[in-house]
Amino acid sequence: MAVDVPSLKLSEQSFYILRELFERECGIHLHTDKKMLVVSRLQRRLELRHLQGFEDYCALLKQPAEAEERQWMVDALTTHETFFFRAPNQFQHLTRHALPMLAHRPLRIWSAAASTGEEAYSLAMTLAETLGAAGWELLGSDISGRAVWHAARGLYPLSRLEEMPKEYLKKYCRKGLGEYAGQLLVNRSLRARTQFFRHNLLDSAAKIGSFDVIFLRNVLIYFDPPRRRQILRNMLARLRPGGYLYIGHSESASDELVELESVGHSAWRSKQTNDMQRMAP
Ligand SMILES: C[S@@+](CC[C@H](N)C(=O)[O-])C[C@H]1O[C@@H](n2cnc3c(N)ncnc32)[C@H](O)[C@@H]1O
């Protein structure tokens, strides 16, 4: 029989400290109505660290040597909801409209808030189907180290496959056996072609070069308008002339993206000239 573990108390003061630390790490501001969510998502960390209460946890997080614990806090408090071929019309748009317009090789594609990797592998399958095994490079990044670790592993519960075309399942995945029963593993060849790394969208991504296609879906919604603009500026600085940016269907970014052409399905195309400096700060 499952036993309910009583919730720990989170004082207003500790909530404000946690909120500030979280915002400093990843730029997301937690509203006061998220207090219970903070308790439920962090309680396990306190147990694992053998702490009596949130005051102790706040004191721990403030220590310079506890960078790893701050990472755990970010992992726990960010929302990683994702699944294969989420918003399938955007993958169709990529195949039918964007890829035929992008002639040079290798194409560089970035899943910029990749979570546990389902979006990046959906892109890898789409690219392998459309372009074949060569001629493209795919990167996936997320602020959560744990999500990145899951992504690189490429092992998923079968329940997350609703939108995946059946023929892709056969071609690009293997069903797990024994201890992996009920799971699927993305084929080694696709895993080897997809590189995952930790990256904060608020930081410059100049080091990783420029891209023909960027998927930045279902992440802008978590940020306030100034940070949304900062993230979009960072993305646009990495988008090649004529390149495509896909955002989530529930995200509106029209003010920030005035310099781009809207091409439907929450996709935006950069103009052929690379004159992104004209964007308002
Ligand atoms: C809801 S998931 C979206 C996953 C995928 N793009 C999709 O649409 O299915 C949002 C992801 O954004 C990541 N995230 C939140 N803040 C971030 C930041 N500052 N930099 C990079 N990734 C961030 C979270 O860790 C989470 O995995």
Q: How many CB atoms lie within 10 A of CB 272?
A: 10
Query: Tens of pLDDT along 121-137?
Result: 999 999 999 999 999 99
Judge contact between 55 and 31, C-beta under 8 A.
no
Can you tell me whether residue 111 is helix, strand or coil? strand
Query: Tens of pLDDT along 30-62?
Result: 999 999 999 999 999 999 999 999 999 999 999
Kindly name the residue from 75, 86, 142, 217 that is annotated as catalytic: 142
Can you tell me whether residue 7 is helix, strand or coil? coil
Judge contact between 85 and 163, C-beta under 8 A.
yes
The reply to whether 142 belongs to the active site is: yes
**Which of 74, 78, 89, 200 is the best mutation target for the ligand 1 pocket, counting ligand atoms within 8 Å of the beta carbon and taking the most?**
78
Q: Print pLDDT tens along the chain (281 aa).
A: 444 556 789 999 999 999 999 999 999 999 999 999 999 999 999 999 999 999 999 999 999 999 999 999 999 999 999 999 999 999 999 999 999 999 889 999 999 999 999 999 999 999 999 999 999 999 999 999 999 999 999 999 987 787 889 999 999 999 888 888 889 999 999 999 999 999 999 999 999 999 999 999 999 999 999 999 999 999 999 999 999 999 999 987 667 788 899 999 999 999 875 444 444 33
Helices (H), the chain: 12-26, 35-48, 54-61, 67-77, 88-93, 99-101, 118-131, 145-153, 166-172, 188-193, 225-238
Cβ of 217 closer than 6 Å to ligand 1, yes or no, is: yes
Domains of the chain in sequence order = 12-77 (1.10.155.10), 88-278 (3.40.50.150)
